[in-house]
Amino acid sequence: MALTLENVSIRLGGHALIAPFSLSIAAGETVTLMGPSGAGKSTLLSFIAGDLEPPFEASGSLSLDGADLAPLPPERRRIGRLFQDDLLFPHLTVAENLAFGMPRKNRAPRIAAALADAGLEGFGDRPPHTLSGGQRARVALLRALLAGPRAMLLDEPFNKLDQELRAAFRGFVFGHIAAEGIPCLMVTHDAADVPENGRVLLLKDTLVTHA
Ligand code: ADP
Ligand code: MG
């Protein structure tokens, strides 16, 4: 499973926001995208997820394992997305949050196993507001992963966590992505977030270059 962008460019209000570039992310690989605020990083993730709207205009091709994604609406792309302040549904329990978007088969045991794996054994029946920020962040990631995504987009996913939690949570996230064998594009401002030996791209002044 590889995520491939070919000659992708994005315009905003008649100006280039991102000049044409190409990128292929391999199965299990996390590529990091860095760059100044307002450079267009989140916009690029929206293009990949399929929910980019005017005034943005994109061109170029996007494929997953060789299959063109352009004709597919966001929900049929099966691309997971995790934002820096991902919200859990407050009126649902942790387990109900995790069940959201999951295939029906073996749901309960898969949820229990995922919670145990995340150090959250027995948290299934709790409402999200009784969890710490770091615990909620883990649940949000599990929810994205359990939905069976074919690729993952992370937008500053560790920002809300304190330093100690960041290190543990990073290992947890990259471990899952590698184990699931899905390509991942991560936006971050913190060089410490970059996985070991991971590729880093810089988006600056419309240009995407290798950092
Ligand atoms: P980044 O994630 O790199 O900080 P964004 O992708 O969020 O940047 O934004 C890229 C540019 O697009 C910014 O200059 C921002 O002000 C602009 N922008 C974001 N959303 C809109 C919108 N709905 N309409 C017009 N401009 C927008
Ligand atoms: Mg952003």
Sequential pLDDT tens for the chain (211 residues): 899 999 999 999 989 999 999 999 999 999 999 999 999 999 999 999 999 999 999 999 999 999 999 999 999 999 999 887 778 999 999 999 999 889 889 999 999 999 998 889 999 999 999 998 888 988 998 899 888 899 999 999 888 777 877 887 788 888 889 999 999 999 999 999 999 999 999 999 999 999 8
Strand 151-155 versus strand 79-83 pairing type: parallel
Query: Is residue 83 within 8 Å of residue 45, measured between CB atoms?
Result: no
**pLDDT for the residue 141:** 86
Q: Which of 34, 43, 44, 154 to mutate to test the pocket of ligand 1 (most atoms within 8 A of CB)?
A: 43
Q: Determine the distance from the C-alpha atom of residue 200 to the mean position of all C-alpha atoms in its chain, rounded to a whole number.
A: 16
Ligand 2 mean position to 122 CA, how many Å?
A: 34
Which ligand lies nearest to the CA atom of residue 14 in the structure?
Answer: 1
Q: Which two tokens stand for residue 90?
A: 């407050």
Q: Which two tokens stand for residue 159?
A: 């920002």
Tell which atom from ligand 1 comes closest to the C-alpha of 36: 3
Who lines ligand 1 at CB under 6 A? 12, 35, 37-43, 55
Give the Cα separation of 168 and 180 in Å (integer).
19
Tell me: cis bond preceding 55? Omega within 30 of 0 counts.
Answer: yes
> Across the strands, what pairs with 160?
none
Residues with CB under 5 A from ligand 2 (ion): 42
SS3 state of residue 39: coil
Q: Which of 8, 9, 11, 12 to mutate to test the pocket of ligand 1 (most atoms within 8 A of CB)?
A: 12
Query: What is the C-alpha end-to-end distance of the chain, expressed in Å?
Result: 25
Query: Is residue 21 within 8 Å of residue 189, measured between CB atoms?
Result: no
**pLDDT for the residue 74:** 95
Within a 10 A sphere around the Cβ of 98, how many other Cβ atoms? 27
Whether this model's pTM surpasses 0.85: yes
Which ligand lies nearest to the CA atom of residue 156 in the structure?
Answer: 2
Ligand 1 mean position to 62 CA, how many Å?
A: 21
